[in-house]
Chains A and B, each alone.
Chain A
Amino acid sequence: MSNTGIGARIERTEDKRFITGNGRYTDDINLPGQVYASFVRSPHAHAKVTGIDAKDALALKGVVKVFTGKDMEADGLGGLICGWTVTSKDGEPMKVGGHPSLAPERVRYVGDCVAVVIGESREAARLGAEAVAVSYEELDAVVEPAQAQNQNAPKVHEDIDKNLCFHWELGDKEATDAAFDKAAHVTHLDIVNNRLIPNAIEPRAALGDYNPGSGDYTLYTTSQNPHVERLVLSAFVGVAPEHKLRVISPDVGGGFGSKIFVYAEETVCLWAAGKIQRPVKWTAERSESFLSDAHGRDHVTRAELALDGDGRFLALRAHTVANLGAYLSTFSSSVPTYLYGTLLSGQYDIAAIHVEVEGVYTHTAPVDAYRGAGRPEATFVVERLVERAARETNKDPAELRKKNFVTKFPHQTPVILNYDTGDYNACIDRASEMIDYKSFDKRRKEAQAKGKLRGIGFSTYIEACGLAPSNAVGSLGAGVGLWESAEVRVNPTGNVEVLTGAHSHGQGHETSFAQLVSDRLTIPIEDITIVHGDTASVQFGMGTYGSRSAAVGMSAIDGALDKVITKAKRIAAHILEVQPDDIELADAAFRIKGTNKFIPWGELALNAYTAHKFSTSEIEPGLKETAFYDPTNFTFPAGCHICELEVDPQTGCVEIVDYVAVDDFGTIINPMIVEGQVHGGVLQGIGQALLENGVYDVETGQLVTGSYMDYTMPRAHDAPPLRLDFTNTPAPSNPLGVKGCGEAGAIAAPAAVLNALTSAIGHENISMPATPAKVWRAIQT
C-alpha cells in the first residue's frame, strides 16, 4: 500500500502546528479568573528560616494571597517523593530527607521555595514575592560530592549522617579483586562527570484549576508522564484523590528527562487553586529553570580495568560518588545505581565487575535523569578506560575493543543485564571505514603542518532501553511497573484514534506511531490520530523517557492492533460467510484469501457499529481494543561513534572536524526522525564534552552558571559534520524488533570526544567540559 508504513522517511505531521505557531503549550492555556503564582526562593544554599513576614506583600495592589510551607502542612499535604528505593550494601534502605514543596523551616539549596505569592498578574505576583520578608539564619553549605561526607561537612538533612543517602554495590567483589590480583596490566582512571543543566526550550509551567461544584481538580503541566504525575499528587502528596484529578500535559517543548519529575511548583499551583478557588498559573523564567529544574550527571569516579597479557579484559571495578542534590527527585536514586552500574560491562565480555556507589546529599538542586540517565556516565567510564588501556599497552584501540567484544548472544553480564542480540563488530567496522581510520596518521601529519593537533577517539557504547520489565525493576526497588498501555479506537467512519500512555515532547510520536498503525491496518496515515497526554482520555501510561516509547509504547499499540484486526476479521468473516482464518487484511480491505470478494475497511468499521450483520450475542458491537504491554527484557541499542578533532594549541580551541556514528537501533520506523534523534543526542553529548557545566560556588553555594552568559549551550555553529549509518539486529524482546534511539547520541558522544581530545594532546589530564581555557592549560603542562 502506502509509503507511510514502517521504515518510511516521511515528514513529521506535528511539525506544521509547531512551526506555524499553532502548538498549544501549557502557557498558552488561560482560564477565566486565572491568577498567577510567583515563588519566593531561597537566596542561600543553606539556612534556617526564622520568620516569614508577608505584610508588605499583601499590602501591594494585585496581590491576592501568600502561602507558606506551614499552610501546606496544616492542610496535611505530604512532601514530594522518590519512587525508587535503593538498598545499601549493609541491607539498609536509602535514607530519605523530607522534601516539602514549600520549605517550612530550612532551605537546602539556592532556589528552594519558601513561599508562594498569588497575584492578579504575573508582575503583581512577582513584585509581591520580592516584598515577602524572609528572615534567614545562614548556615554553611557543601556543594561538591567529594566533600559531602567529610567529617565537618554541614549536614543537608539533620538526621542523615555524613550526607550519605545510600552506599550501594553491584557485582562480585571477591571475584573482581581476585581477577585484579592476577592481571598483567591495570589501567586506572579518575574522572568527573560534569553536572549538566537541562534547558528545554519550553520552561516548566503549570496551571492548576479547581471546580468547587464538583470537587474536580485539573492540572495542566509540562510533564513527560501525566499519569505518574497524577498518581504521585494524589497517592503521596494528597492534593486530591486520583479520580478527582485530571492531569493534562499538552504540547511540551522538550524535556530531556527534566519533565519526568513531580516538582514543587505544579504541586503548589494545584493545591493553591483549590484554596483560593481560582485557576493558578506559573511559568518558569529561564533563571528559575537554571536554579530549580533537576540537573543531570555530577559523578566523581575512580575506575580500574584489569587486562591479561594478551589484552583480554579480566575485570572492572569502579567507585563513584554521585551527587543527588539537596533532595531526592522522583527517580534520582535509580540513575547512579541501576541505570549506571548495570552498564559497566559495555560491549565487552568481562568476567568480573564490581561497582560501589555512594549517593550523597549536597546543598544543590536535585539531580535526576537527564538524557541517557546513568548510561552516559557508565559509557564514559568504560570507554575512557578502554581507550586508555589501549594506549598504555600500545594496542590499536579498535583492535583491543574487537578482541573483547561480546560476540555470542544471549550474553549474561556480571551486572544483571542479559544482552539478547547485537553485532558490535559490524558497527565498528562500518564506522572505521566511514571515517577512513586507516589514513588517520596522514591526516594527523597534515594537521601538524598547519600547527594543529589532531586526534581520533572511539566510543563503542551500549545502553539498556525499553524500560522496562516490571518484575525486574520491581525486584530492584522501583515503585512502579514500567509497562505501557494503548487503546485503538476505530471510529464508525473508519478513521482511527490511538490513545497512548507514552508522551511526545519533541520525539515525533504522532508520526512514528501513526506509521505503525498505517502499516498494520493498511490505511492512510491521514486517517490516524495519536492522542496522548491527558489522564481523562488515555487509560493509563508510564510516559516517555529511557528510550522506551518505541519498544514499549508502540508494542502496546501493536498488541491493541492485533486485537482490533482479530475482531474485525471475525466480523468480516460473518458478513462474507467464511471462517476468520479465510480473511486477510490488505490494501484497506478485508478479503477472502484468493478471491476478489472483500469488504472495504471503512465499511467494516461502520458494520462493527451498526451491528446489523453479525450476531451481537457472539461478537460485541464496536471496534475498540486496549492492550497493556510489559516487555520481556530491556533492549540493547549499541553502536560505534568515532570523533576526529583538531586543537589549536595557541588558544586551546577544539574543532570537531569529522564525526561518524553507526548505531544498531533494531528496526527503524522513520529514518528521518531517528537521524534527528541521533543529531540532537550527539550535540548534547558534545555539549557535555566541550561546553556545558553546572557550577556552584564552593564557598557560598551560589549557582555560578545561572544564565546563558555563563552556561554554554551548544549552538548551531558547534554542530560538527555528522555522518550516520545504521546496522540492524532486531530486538527479540518486542514484536517490532525496535530498540530505542532517543538517548544514544548523548550516551556515546562524550567518550568519543574526550578520547579524541586526549589522543590529540597526548595525555589524559583533561576533564569535561574541555573548554578552550582548560585545553590550553592542559597543553602547557
Chain B
Amino acid sequence: MYPFTYHRASSIEQAQALLDVSDDSKLLAGGQTLIPTLKQHLASPGALVDIGKIEALRFVRVEKASVVVGAATPHAQVAGDGKLAQKIPALAHLAGKIGDPHVRNVGTLGGSIANNDPAADYPAACLALGATIQTDKRNISADDFFTGLFETALEEHEIITEISFPVPKLAAYEKFPNPASRYALAGVFVAQTEAGVRVAVTGAGVNGVFRMTEMESALANNWSADALEGISPSADSLLSDLHGAADYRAHLVNVMAKRAVAQTC
C-alpha cells in the first residue's frame, strides 16, 4: 500500500469533518473491496476515514412497512437478524450468500452499494425492492442510485447512512455464482411490491444491475415460473468473460428468475 493517514470516526459528523480535511480522503467501511485495491496499488488516497465502527451506522430496524439497515452493518448481521428474516427472508438469504464468513463478518451493506460492483448481490435487492438510500445529505431512490459500472449517484464525500427496504408481499433471490470469485455470474431478485412487480438482475449487465421490465409485466399478469418462459435479456447488453459468454448469462438470467419465482409459489 502507498502510505496514507488513517482516521477512525466515532460519529457521522466527525466522519464528515475528517473527510473534508482533504480532497483525496476516502471512506473505509469493511475494507473488503478497498483494502485489496490499496494492496494492489490501484488507489492512493491520502487519508482513510473509517466509519465501520460508528454504532449509529450499524443496526437493523424493523418498522411496520419497511426494514431499515444502517450503512455500516455487516452482511452477517443482515443474514442473521431474525426479525428482518421474518419480514424480508429474501434479503437475509441474499446477505448469507455473499462471499465467505470472513467477508460477511466485515463487509458492509453501505460499502457494497457504494462500490456498485456489477457482480455484487445487494444492488439487486435494492433495485427490486425499490429501496431508498439515505445519505448524510439526501434520499436517493434505488432507481436513481445505480448509474453504471462501479458508478453511483453519490457525490464526492457523500456518506450513505442507511438503506430503507419497503417490505414486499413476496420476494426471492437466486444467484448463480461465478465459479472462481463466487460473486454473481447472474443473480435475479424478484419481488411483488406495493408499487408492483419488480425484477432486478445483477452479475450480467454491461452497465451493472438493471431491471427486467419484460419479466415484470409477464409476472404481473401471472406470477409463475411458466410466465417467464422464453424471456431473457438481449445478449448484446450482457457481459462476456472467461466464466460465461453473454448468451450463457442471458440463459442463466431466465433460469435464475424462474427458480426465484418458483421458490415463492
Contact = CB atoms under 8 A, between A and B. Distances in A.
A56 to B, nearest CB: 16
A652 B179 CA distance: 12
Contacts of A135: none
Nearest to A708: B180
Interface in B212-265: 242-245, 248, 251-252, 255
Given A773-B248, A777-B248, A691 B179 contact: yes
Chain A residues touching B, range: 20 to 34
Nearest to A650: B255
B242 A705 contact: yes
A614 interface: no
Given A123-B1, A708-B180, A709-B181, A773 B255 contact: no
A651 B179 contact: no
A601 interface: no
B180 A773 contact: no
Contacts of B102: none
Contacts of B251: 776
A771 B241 CA distance: 13
A708 B3 CA distance: 26
A772 interface: yes
A473 to B, nearest CB: 38
B63 to A, nearest CB: 36
A376 B231 CA distance: 43
Nearest to B247: A777
A67 B110 CA distance: 46
Interface in A724-781: 771-773, 776-777
Contacts of A708: 180-181
Contacts of A713: 180
Nearest to B248: A773
Contact of B180 (A126, A127, A711, A776): A711
A649 to B, nearest CB: 10
B181 A710 contact: yes
Contacts of B59: none
Nearest to B251: A776
Contact of B41 (A130, A704, A772): A130
Nearest to A690: B179
Contact of A773 (B2, B40, B181, B244): B244
A458 B54 CA distance: 57
Nearest to B254: A650
Given A695-B242, A773-B245, A287 B40 contact: yes
Nearest to A691: B179
A650 B251 CA distance: 9
Interface string A635-655: 000000000000000111000
A710 B180 contact: yes
Nearest to B243: A773
Contact of A709 (B180, B244, B248, B252): B180
Contacts of A695: 242
A187 interface: no
A712 interface: yes
Nearest to A776: B248
A97 to B, nearest CB: 30
Nearest to B39: A285
A705 B2 CA distance: 25
Interface string A650-674: 1110000000000000000000000
B97 to A, nearest CB: 12
Contact of A771 (B3, B243, B255): B243
Contacts of A123: 1, 3
Contacts of B242: 693, 695, 704-705, 710
Nearest to B41: A130
Interface string B65-87: 00000000000000000000000
Given A708-B181, A709-B180, A710-B242, A651 B40 contact: no
* Interface SS of chain B: loop
A153 B6 CA distance: 51
B26 to A, nearest CB: 19
A691 B243 CA distance: 10
Most B C-beta atoms less than 10 A away, residue of A126, A693, A704, A712: A712
B180 A712 contact: yes
Nearest to A653: B176
A651 B244 contact: no
A335 B61 CA distance: 61
A337 B10 CA distance: 64
Q: Which of A127, A773, A776 has the most CB of B within 10 A?
A: A773
A645 B248 CA distance: 22
Contacts of B252: 651
Central interface residue in B41, B179, B244, B245, by most chain A CB within 10 Å? B179
A751 B67 CA distance: 51
Interface string B1-38: 11100000000000000000000000000000000000
B259 to A, nearest CB: 9
B5 to A, nearest CB: 15
A732 B36 CA distance: 54
A695 to B, nearest CB: 6
Contacts of B179: 691, 712, 771-772
A287 B245 CA distance: 25
Contacts of B40: 287
A151 to B, nearest CB: 29
Interface in B38-70: 40-41
Contacts of A710: 180-181, 242-243
Interface in A682-722: 691, 693, 695, 704-705, 708-713
A682 to B, nearest CB: 18
B82 to A, nearest CB: 26
Contacts of A693: 242
A772 B242 CA distance: 11
Contacts of A705: 180, 242
A695 B40 CA distance: 21
A710 B183 CA distance: 11
Interface in B130-152: none
Contacts of B244: 772-773
Contacts of B245: 773
Contacts of B243: 710, 771, 773
A713 B242 CA distance: 15
A773 B185 CA distance: 10
Contacts of A652: 248
Interface in A252-273: none
A131 to B, nearest CB: 12
Interface string A282-301: 00000100000000000000
A178 to B, nearest CB: 45
B176 A651 contact: yes
A729 B1 CA distance: 56
Contacts of A709: 180-181
A713 to B, nearest CB: 8
Interface in B104-163: none
Interface centre among A704, A708, A709, A711, by most chain B C-beta atoms within 10 angstroms, is A709
Nearest to B100: A715
Contacts of A126: 41
B1 to A, nearest CB: 7
Contacts of B3: 123
A499 B244 CA distance: 52
A746 B259 CA distance: 35
A274 B245 CA distance: 52
A678 B3 CA distance: 46
Given A691-B179, A695-B242, A713-B180, 13 more contacts: A123-B1, A123-B3, A126-B41, A287-B40, A650-B255, A704-B242, A708-B180, A710-B180, A711-B180, A771-B179, A772-B179, A776-B248, A777-B248
6 contacts: A123-B3, A126-B41, A710-B180, A711-B180, A772-B179, A776-B251
Interface of A: 123, 126-127, 130, 287, 650-652, 691, 693, 695, 704-705, 708-713, 771-773, 776-777
Q: Which 10 residue pairs spanning A and B have beta carbons closest together?
A: A712-B180, A709-B181, A773-B244, A712-B179, A650-B255, A773-B248, A710-B180, A771-B179, A776-B248, A710-B242
